[in-house]
Amino acid sequence: MQDVFVYQGLRTPFGKVGGALAGQRPDDLAALVISELVAQAPGLTPENAGEVVGEVVFGNANGAGEENRNVARMAWLLAKLPVHVPATTINRLCGSSLDAAISGARQIALGETDVILAGGVESMSRAPWVLPKTERPFPMANLELANTTLGWRLINERMPKEWTVSLGEATEQLRERHGIGRERQDAFAARSHELAARAWAQGHLADLTVAVPGVDLDTDETIRAGVTSEKLAGLRTVFRSENGTVTAGNASPMNDGASAVWLGSAAGGEKLGLTPQVRIAGWAAAANEPQYFGYAPVDASNKALARAGIGWAEVGAVELNEAFAAQSLACLDAWDIDPEIVNAWGGAIAIGHPLGASGTRVLATLAKRMQLSGERWGVATLCIGVGQGLAVVLENATTHPTQN
């Protein structure tokens, strides 16, 4: 088995739904981050990339719009790179691009290739309405369009009703189970905005992003610098009129964006001309009841840590995708870790959550954080709709280089 390293990560700034990136096709956003990663690898040129890159693996949660027909393949071709590099697209909803990275890491570990370009993309602005086909021709009844932006649609009537509640209602049920109140959620959300704004001001997130040509967007569009928990406390609840706690302020927004990372073996890094940031030390998936999807990162992270041979006491940095403040807090409570090591540059409540792009965003952010802080061990993890979680454990390759 070969060691697998993350060499570099890059993303677009994340736009809000209907915002600055709404005019950009998802396949074009994906092509942009691919082109820029190729350009920033000293060992690559558009001409020799076909000899170095073994495969392109991208995540996408929708697949019903302009990203159909295998967006990984389309993006590589739109980037005007060699046609003989294969590509595949993975759908594990919110975890799609982290799953893409895991898939790529597995190929490298098995010695199938030395270099993988893994990433993900989502345009929630451009997610289409869909009209189901009828069971017989020319029905006389009216037909209803389904919005594919987020959540359940075209639900199978055999699916238990408790599993198909909205993501927000599921989060309300989760926070009731774990006793997480509104005040904690709003404080957590305000912290996300404060840290994200600070990270942009300090240049940490700018180093991880590439501007979208022709678009006036130089930071993540949904960050609100200066927001306080007191301001958030004034927002109305969204999913319950009584006894509700989940608001637009303590949940992640809907977004557009793309992200990607270079993965490789030691030999792959030499081909790329890049120095490894972190070694991928373990990964895992977990699943539970669909309505408790927000808690699935607990088991996924615990399993990944066990496979890496370490425990939470050794972890110095965590990137947990903030789908909702309540589910994030439930995970932190279960792990019993210092919350200050989690999302030190802000999280998805502020930065945004363009479903298919979030996994490699948290992976690349964690790798960069660990480089700067020197922490040896880190965990990148996400919750996933329909009751799943993914996690990847990273080891700092700069402070603790692997001895092959």
Q: What percent of the chain has pLDDT over 90?
A: 94
Give the tokens for residue 61: 């949660």
pLDDT at 401 over 90: no
pLDDT at 267 over 50: yes
pLDDT at 395 over 60: yes
Mean pLDDT of 61-88: 97
Residue 331 annotated as catalytic: no
- Least confident segment among 137-141, 253-257, 343-347: 137-141
Q: Read off the pLDDT of residues 203-240 as tens digits, 9 standing for 90 and up.
A: 999 999 999 999 999 999 999 999 999 999 999 999 99
The reported pLDDT for the residue numbered 241 is 84
Residue 383 annotated as catalytic: yes
The reported pLDDT for the residue numbered 4 is 98
The reported pLDDT for the residue numbered 19 is 98
Mean pLDDT of 378-382: 98
Find all residues with CB under 8 Å of 299, minimum gap 6, and list them: 286, 288, 389
The reported pLDDT for the residue numbered 379 is 98
Lookup result for tokens 């599993």: 163
256 Rama sector, left if φ>0, alpha if ψ -120 to 50, beta otherwise? beta
Which of these, 92, 100, 76, 107, lies nearest to 4 by C-alpha position?
107
Give the tokens for residue 235: 């927002």
Average pLDDT value over all residues in the chain? 96
Which of these, 315, 248, 234, 330, lies nearest to 281 by C-alpha position?
315
Query: For residues 304 and 284, what is the distance between their CA atoms, to the nearest angstrom?
Result: 5
pLDDT at 139 over 90: no
b vs e for 178-190, b when ≥16 Cβ sit within 10 Å of the residue's Cβ?
Answer: bebebebbbbbbb
Query: Of these residues, 94, 193, 204, 331, which one is catalytic?
Result: 94
Mean pLDDT of 304-329: 98
Going by pLDDT thresholds of 50, 70 and 90, the confidence category of residue 404 is: very low
Query: Of these residues, 193, 204, 331, 383, which one is catalytic?
Result: 383
Q: List 156's β-bridge partners, or say none.
A: none
Collapsing DSSP states into helix, strand and coil, what is residue 34? Answer: helix
Query: Of these residues, 193, 204, 331, 353, which one is catalytic?
Result: 353
Measured CA distances, 335 to 18, 172, 179, 338, 341 (Å): 36, 20, 16, 9, 12
Mean pLDDT of 77-100: 98
Which of these, 246, 359, 303, lies nearest to 9 by C-alpha position?
359
Residue 353 annotated as catalytic: yes
Find all residues with CB under 8 Å of 18, minimum gap 6, and list them: 125
pTM of full prediction above 0.95: yes
